[in-house]
Amino acid sequence: MTHDIHGLHHAGIVTRDLDALERTYIALGFTLSPRSRHLLNERPGEPPVLGCTANRCALFGGAYIELLGIVDESAPDPWHTKAMVDQYEGFRLLNFDTGDAEAVDRRLTGAGLRTSGVLNLERDVDTEDGTRTMRARAVHLDPRSTPEAYVGIAQHLTRRYVHQPRYLRHPNGARSLAAALVVVEDSVLAAVTARYARILQTAPERQGPRTVLALEDGRLEIVRASDAEEVLPGEPVPAASYPAALTVVVDDVAAARTIVEGGGHATRPAGDGFFVSARDAHGAGLFFTAG
């Protein structure tokens, strides 16, 4: 089988207070790319417009963590971020990586999934050679069919402008985004797992309380709500089903923990690494683990 989705592209944390979100992730030891406004289109073929959002990113050369904020309430909102934030802020976006957005869109619509079609995204970024325009394409799944998350498949057209080497070195030693974990209601676990297996073209495997869908680069983990306390003890529950946590691979767990705790964040042991609560990381639990 030819796979048109290769791995994680990015996970997005959304907020109306981008300043506070930035401060938190800097204190957690991440290097962030400069703030950049988005040019977006709402429908395929329409020209992009300057939207209400901007971002900064913790980049790892492959997937990345996007810190996404509403920075101009009066600006257009073609990707409906305000409605998302009105529900609740935090880890809301889950995007997978492809080299061919059109092919993915054809496959998903052919499988009966409703999509946005192929949308265009642009934003100006500072490079060592001056300002350049980052371009990407994205296919969004109809959020009514994925109530656990806002799910998309994204294609870099100018990857080099995003994953610039100067932003890939992090004080906490982070070097990759290995996994995204989603909690789902018990009654829909089988249906949700089957849907992602179809989207990602990969077979699920049970690993303790986690159902894992492994990709070439990264993995999706699904946990039923009744098992969430075992995996995420004491963590907030913002919805019946929700994106809950990310796994970040670091060079040195002990050194990373020193940086994170030195930035004012509590940690607890987790597997071969440690965990930072979603309460302290703006709605995204963070597992830090050895590579």
The chain-wide mean pLDDT, for the chain, equals 94
How are strands ordered across the β-sheet holding 285-290? Answer: 205-207, 210-214, 219-224, 174-184, 242-250, 285-290, 273-276, 268-270
Q: How confident is the model at residue 123 (pLDDT cuts 50, 70, 90)?
A: confident
Residue 255 to residues 42, 123, 127: CA-CA distances in angstroms?
Answer: 44, 34, 30
Would the pLDDT of 221 be above 80? Answer: yes
Q: In whole angstroms, what is the distance from residue 152 CA to residue 142 CA?
A: 9
CB 116 within 8 A of CB 95: no
Residue 39: what pLDDT? 80
How many whole angstroms separate alpha carbon 207 and alpha carbon 170?
30
Q: Does 1 score more than 60 pLDDT?
A: no
Q: What is the pLDDT of residue 49?
A: 86
Which pLDDT does position 2 carry in this prediction?
65
From CA 226, how far away is CA 229, in angstroms rounded? 7
Residue with tokens 């052919």: 110
| Lowest pLDDT segment from 41-55, 96-110, 227-241 | 41-55
What is the DSSP pairing of strand 242-250 with strand 285-290?
Answer: parallel
* pLDDT for position 124: 86
Q: What is the pLDDT of residue 202?
A: 96
Is the backbone of residue 41 left (phi > 0), alpha (psi -120 to 50) or beta?
beta
Q: What are phi and psi of 143, to 5 degrees?
A: -60, -20
- H/E stretch holding 200 reads helix 189-200
Q: What is the mean pLDDT of residues 222-248?
A: 97
Residue 118 near residue 101 (C-beta atoms within 8 A)? yes
Q: Which tens digit of pLDDT belongs to each residue from 50-98?
A: 889 999 999 999 999 999 999 998 998 888 899 999 999 999 999 999 9
Please report which confidence band the pLDDT of residue 29 belongs to, taking 50, 70 and 90 as the band edges. very high
Task: Give me the residues paired with residue 206 across strands.
Answer: 211
**pLDDT for the residue numbered 172:** 98
Question: What average pLDDT does range 284-288 have in this prediction?
Answer: 98
Q: Is the pLDDT of residue 288 over 90?
A: yes
Q: Which residues contact 240 (CB under 8 A, 6 or more apart)?
A: 147, 185, 225
State the amino acid at position 119 in one-letter form.
L
- Residues 6 or more apart in contact with residue 246 via CB below 8 angstroms: 11, 65, 91, 177, 179, 180, 181, 284, 285, 286, 287
Mean pLDDT computed over 12-37: 96
DSSP code of 29?
T
Domains along the chain with CATH numbers: 5-167 (3.10.180.10), 174-290 (3.10.180.10)
pLDDT score at 48 = 83
